[in-house]
Copies of this chain bind each other. A is one copy, B any other.
C-alpha cells in the first residue's frame, strides 16, 4: 500500500498512516496538501491520509476545500492521539537542553511544560518532524525538537520526555482518501458538504431530513462564505452509509433545498481511545 501524506518523514500524518494502513505502508511525503491530493488523483499512490480536524485547533478548512476541488472519495477515518515528545541526541539528559524548537502550534500546546524548564529558550521552525531533522543535522546536544515518537525513530534521535502537551485531550482526526469510493459494511459514517442561502429556519429544514429518519449526526459546522453566491457551507457527518436506502432518501430530500450537495464518502467508523 502506497499512501501520500502532507509533511516530512516522521510527521504526525506518517504516524497516523502507519497506524491506519499498517506498519509496512510505503509513505510518500508531500510538501503541501495540494501535492498530496494531486498524487492520489494521478494514481501515484493508492490512497492519501490528510488531517481534517484537531480537538484543540478545530477543522482544517483547506482539506475541505481540496475535497470539493477534487473528485476523490473518503474511504476511512483515523483518530490519532497527539503525544508530543521532547527529542534530542542519544544520551542527552533534560538538564543539558538549552533551546527547544518546533512548529508554533506544538510549542503553544506544550507551553506550561516548557515554562517549567528553567533557562530554556524556544524558537519556531516550519514543522514538528522538521525540528528533529534540524537537531540531527546541527549536531548540537543542547538543542531539542518537539515532535512525534515516530520522528525520533526516523532521524535516529532519542525521546527525552513523552506526553509533554498541556492538554491530554489532543486528538487529530485524519481522513483516508482514494480515487474509488468504498461501500462499507457495519458501523459506518458518511461525510457531506452542502451549501444553502441563509434564511431563518433553513438549517432546521436541513437537520430535519436526518432527524425525521432517526439518522444520528456526529459533526455539524457552518462556514460563512464571504462574497459568494450562497452565504454558508455546511460540513456534516452522520452515522450510516450511502448504500442504506434511508440515507439515500435523506440525501434526496436534502438536495431539494440546497444549492450544492456533495457526498464525500462513506467509510467504517473509527472510535478513538481516550
Contacts and interface: CB of A to CB of B under 8 A. Distances in A.
Chain A contact-residue range equals 35 or more
Contact of A214 (B169, B201, B220): B201
B220 A210 contact: no
How many copies of this protein are present in the complex? Answer: 2
A258 interface: no
Interface of A: 32, 55-62, 103-104, 111, 124-126, 168-169, 171, 198-201, 203-204, 207-208, 210-211, 214-228, 272, 274
A199 B223 CA distance: 24
Given A201-B211, A204-B208, A216-B200, A55 B274 contact: no
Nearest to A217: B203
A231 to B, nearest CB: 9
A204 B200 contact: no
13 contacts: A32-B111, A55-B224, A57-B61, A58-B59, A169-B226, A169-B227, A171-B226, A200-B215, A201-B211, A204-B211, A217-B222, A219-B224, A226-B272
A211 B214 CA distance: 19
B220 A220 contact: yes
A59 B55 CA distance: 11
A42 B55 CA distance: 30
Nearest to A81: B226
A103 B207 CA distance: 39
